[in-house]
Structure 1
Amino acid sequence: MPPTHASQPAAARVIRLHPADDVVVALEQLIGGMPVEADGVRVSGLIPPGHKVATRAIAAGAPVHRYGQIIGFARQAIAPGEHVHTHNLDMGEFARDYAFSEGARATAFVADSERASFDGIVRADGRVATRNYIGILTSVNCSATVARAIADHFRRDIHPEALAAFPNVDGVVALTHGVGCAVDTEGEALKLLQRTLGGYACHPNFAGVLVIGLGCETNQIPRLLETQGLKEHAGLRTFTIQDSGGTAKTIARGIEIVKEMLGAANHVQRQRVSASHLTVGLQCGGSDGYSGITANPVLGAAVDRLVRHGGTAILSETPEIYGAEHLLTRRAITREVGDKLVARIRWWEDYCARHNASMNNNPSAGNKAGGLTTVLEKSLGGIAKAGSTNLVDVYEYAQPVLAKGLVFMDTPGYDPISATGQVAGGANLICFTTGRGSAYGCAPSPSLKLATNSALWKRQSDDIDLNCGGVVDGHDDIDTLGETLFRMMLDAASGKRTRSELHGYGQNEFVPWQIGAIT
């Protein structure tokens, strides 16, 4: 009887991102004994998809590299084939060479006559909108309930007749928040809230805005308008509950004002405009080990195209570039721009120290379950959203973005707060990558969602606009998907509704950044 041989385990499907890396990334569930053929090692134990496998011996305390960059330091000695994750990898201090502007390159812009275009709404002042809403903003949490009641009167799913005569109006939305009182009247927290509300009050995606207050709050509406250089007019109205005689009268008054705005709001026509009028906020949430391999580089490829066609992209989430900021300072067009970015990093280090927190509090539990270990690793994948173009300016939270090209806005890593700042700064479209399945929208600006892996796409395609998992599945490439996404941006800007819009996301995700003490 011939001898029998135990079947050999199949080769591990992994990806190496840089020749200098100490790890490879699992493209599927790996089991013990699987050979990592290119590196001559065998997998030790179970390693989930998106997680890291050591391909060489790593001494305790030694740096560990992914993307050719440091993602952390070994807590203990790590043997080849072992799982590299939170149990044996930690943060650590190391010097970054900012090499200011050394990587900045001349951009090959597309000629004006050949630029891509979309069907936008041109406002009287020349700014271009991608949507056409009426917005109800609140100066304080106390007026949130009446604002919601006014907006609900015009909900198409509840009262389809309310907007039946106004087909060119995308809807009436109430953007409420939880602050506006019990803060320092001269402090940064109130200034930041006012800047955010001011940015929304004059956003081109709003044809009309109603601001409602209680009447006695710290964030007084006249002062809000004054600080933001705004004045009341037919498309910007304000009043308070106390002056209107209470809740019922406020709701009735608000409904009548919105009705007065609807006629003018409906009197718009989309027209062909250059892609240079597109300002895209870049977001990633519910990230995983594939984010920096698939969806983020795909978004980066689309951003490079957008910039060449004269548009603007806003990279944000400062804690999620931490440890990778040196890759952006190299692309800064001037030393001044690079210094502005580093100054925001230093602010965050001080901010965390004052609150006895750590920058490594980010990643989240879901990020770690998806394969990310430290904020350094997350940051290196996150900046891939910015493509390869120059960094032309740096803005503080909710400041108006005036530059063309790739810019950075200082925001927290929490997606609703971050995107709220981007929209306040003028973003008329959001692109949002996710590996775990974030549920998100961002009225009044449409939001495109990108899946980092095909398993998520199959599980939650109802929430996702584009699957980038084909990059690791082997049937798609980053550049081709980048072109696909760029065309999707133009379609969304032209009025095609995104998945999050179809589900009604956008009002609850308005979350201004609150940084001050509440007294």
Structure 2
Amino acid sequence: MSSQSTQSDPAVIRLHANDDVVIATRQLMSGARIASEDLVIAGLIPPGHKIATRAIAAGEPVKRYNQIIGVATQPIQRGQHVHVQNLGMAEFSRAHEFGVAVHATQYAADPATFMGIRRADGRVATRNYIGVLTSVNCSATVARAIADHFRRDVNPHALADYPNVDGVVALTHGLGCGIDTLGEGLAVLRRTLAGYAVHPNFHSVLFVGLGCETNQIAGVLESAGLKDTEQLRSFTIQDSGGSKKTIERGIAMVNEMLADANRVKREPLPASHLIVGLQCGGSDGYSGISANPALGAAVDLLVQHGGTAILSETPEVYGAEHLLTRRAVSRAVGEKLLARIAWWEEYCARNGAALDNNPSAGNKVGGLTTILEKSLGAVAKGGTTNLVDVYQYAERIDAKGFVFMDSPGYDPVSATGQVAAGANLICFTTGRGSAYGCAPSPSLKLATNTALWERQEDDMDINCGGVIDGSASIEELGEAIFAQMLECASGVPSKSEVNGYGQSEFVPWQLGVIT
């Protein structure tokens, strides 16, 4: 599948010569003629939706990106709208070749730099927060109260003397008790919390518990080989003497940390220190044409400059995983990806669900019909470089280059795992207008189309709609996105940060039985 779309007509985009459909760039009325396809439109076609370019019999496969995206559930005539009314999920075998598309990476002779923060232990940050983490839902209220004391919009004097501190944020969740002490769910939660506890974008962290919960803070720290230090302090409501005293204690601790946190200085650092999580949410029919491949072009540049990019959302690569195994640097890496796909198939089966329950209602309104179509567009975010490793959810990323981390497709859960794994920047594409941010790592939002950009410019950082109207190429946008990655990593706030997103979007993956 090529990440480069071809604009053959102002009204439609043909992605591959072998495709059975073209994509409408604007609303098309019945009777409109598409000269490049010698096609007459039959019925109303919304922007971003598919149009049949040949007669398709019921049961025949339908191709987009030169890949099967489903089968016709009824006969489809040339010029007709192809969507949920006549296209369904297809069961078909995919050849999982390993490493056949691997190629040498051409590293940049003059690596790019950004203004980052180097921690004392060598880790590199893009932001400088103090974090308040919780072991259990029962300590969420006191954690938020501690952080709220330092909100610049509520208490403008609290951080007035500390301009180099980006803020104090509380990352709370609804888990931590009524969970099997030996199960996968607790292990994943602890791995996630431990990843945040040592994230370089936190100068220091308070870890607040209730005291009697299943997810004991000592267990979290022990699971990751951590211990209390001046910059990682833990305490509980019960040991502190109740909620009011816990809040006072937490505020006092943060006040003790602020002076040291404020001493940080940004300095030029190579882009190889960037670990970028890739997300797409609220996708539409343009996602796989504009923003996703443009982000993929930026990922190729990031890898060439020594950095790391994390593709995730396993249910949203389902049906396109064969394109990733082709890029795996070894059979073992490709098999690790297929093992995660198999885990998801079994997980869905035992819970009475299915991996093809996607796309969402909003995705369908935007023109996506099946999970196969959505996945084929989603993998374009990963560019074209080699797949060097595959990780489990929230597992620390230690490889350089393009990697995959297993996660659900639900964006807040997926991005939470990426940040726990070390992502210090998120890039998030959307065609429907998802509102999202991710503390402590900044999140850049990429609009797939100009109409969305004009409607929600306050939420979007980059407009990729130029690919649709022909005013910009994938390569040009890839360079612009890479430049904005460096700028944001240097401290320039993203739109989501300006709007205050980030704390409520911390959502660890809930696995296992809650009793």
Same-fold call, TM cutoff 0.5 = yes
| Displacement of 1:12 | 7.4
- Corresponding position of 2:469: 473
1:361 paired to 2:346: no
CA contact (8 A) 2:98 2:334 kept: yes
| Displacement of 1:228 | 1.1
The residue correspondences of 1:352-501 to structure 2 (distance < 5 A) are 352-501=348-497
- Corresponding position of 1:50: 48
Question: What are the ranges of 5 or more consecutive residues in structure 2 without an aligned counterpart?
Answer: 1-8
Structure 2 residue matching 1:32: 3-state secondary structure: coil
The whole-number CA distance in structure 2 between the counterparts of 1:76 and 1:350 is 31
- What is the aligned-residue identity percentage? 69
- Corresponding position of 1:4: none
- Corresponding position of 2:22: 24
The whole-number CA distance in structure 2 between the counterparts of 1:373 and 1:36 is 23
Structure 1 residue matching 2:212: 3-state secondary structure: coil
| Displacement of 1:456 | 0.2
The whole-number CA distance in structure 1 between the counterparts of 2:17 and 2:98 is 25
Matched letter for residue 61 of structure 1: G
Structure 2 residue matching 1:137: 3-state secondary structure: strand
CA contact (8 A) 1:453 1:469 kept: yes
1:347 paired to 2:351: no
Aligned pair partner of 2:328 in 322, 332, 337 = 332
Matched letter for residue 93 of structure 1: E
The whole-number CA distance in structure 1 between the counterparts of 2:220 and 2:442 is 26
- Corresponding position of 2:5: none
Aligned pair partner of 1:175 in 150, 171, 176 = 171
Taking structure 1 as the reference length, what is the TM-score of the superposition?
Answer: 0.97
CA contact (8 A) 1:12 1:30 kept: no
Structure 1 residue matching 2:457: 3-state secondary structure: helix
The residue correspondences of 1:6-21 to structure 2 (distance < 5 A) are 13-21=11-19
1:211 paired to 2:207: yes
Taking structure 2 as the reference length, what is the TM-score of the superposition?
Answer: 0.98
Aligned pair partner of 2:266 in 266, 270, 277 = 270
CA contact (8 A) 1:285 1:438 kept: yes
| Displacement of 1:41 | 2.3
The whole-number CA distance in structure 2 between the counterparts of 1:19 and 1:483 is 27
Matched letter for residue 35 of structure 1: R
Deviation string 1:126-179 (CA, Å, 9 cap, x unpaired) is 010000000000000000000000000000001010001111000000000000
The residue correspondences of 1:148-167 to structure 2 (distance < 5 A) are 148-167=144-163
- Corresponding position of 1:227: 223
Structure 2 residue matching 1:445: 3-state secondary structure: coil
- Corresponding position of 2:288: 292
The whole-number CA distance in structure 2 between the counterparts of 1:70 and 1:412 is 23
Deviation string 1:290-311 (CA, Å, 9 cap, x unpaired) is 0000000110010000000000
| Displacement of 1:36 | 2.3
Matched letter for residue 74 of structure 2: Q
The whole-number CA distance in structure 2 between the counterparts of 1:219 and 1:40 is 64
| Displacement of 1:70 | 0.4
Structure 2 residue matching 1:448: 3-state secondary structure: strand
CA contact (8 A) 1:427 1:445 kept: yes
1:282 paired to 2:282: no
The whole-number CA distance in structure 2 between the counterparts of 1:110 and 1:303 is 13
Matched letter for residue 290 of structure 1: Y
Deviation string 1:451-471 (CA, Å, 9 cap, x unpaired) is 000000010000000000011
- Corresponding position of 2:509: 513
| Displacement of 1:99 | 1.1
Deviation string 1:74-115 (CA, Å, 9 cap, x unpaired) is 11111111110011111121011111100000101123xx10
Matched letter for residue 90 of structure 1: G
| Displacement of 1:38 | 2.4
Matched letter for residue 45 of structure 1: G
CA contact (8 A) 2:295 2:383 kept: yes
CA contact (8 A) 1:12 1:37 kept: no
The whole-number CA distance in structure 2 between the counterparts of 1:235 and 1:252 is 18
| Displacement of 1:40 | 2.0
Computed over aligned residues only, the root mean square deviation of the Cα atoms, in angstroms, reads: 0.8
Structure 2 residue matching 1:70: 3-state secondary structure: strand
Aligned length: 507
1:79 paired to 2:77: yes
CA contact (8 A) 1:73 1:91 kept: yes
- Corresponding position of 1:8: none
CA contact (8 A) 2:10 2:469 kept: no
CA contact (8 A) 2:392 2:405 kept: yes
The whole-number CA distance in structure 2 between the counterparts of 1:176 and 1:280 is 23
Structure 1 residue matching 2:51: 3-state secondary structure: strand
Structure 2 residue matching 1:184: 3-state secondary structure: coil
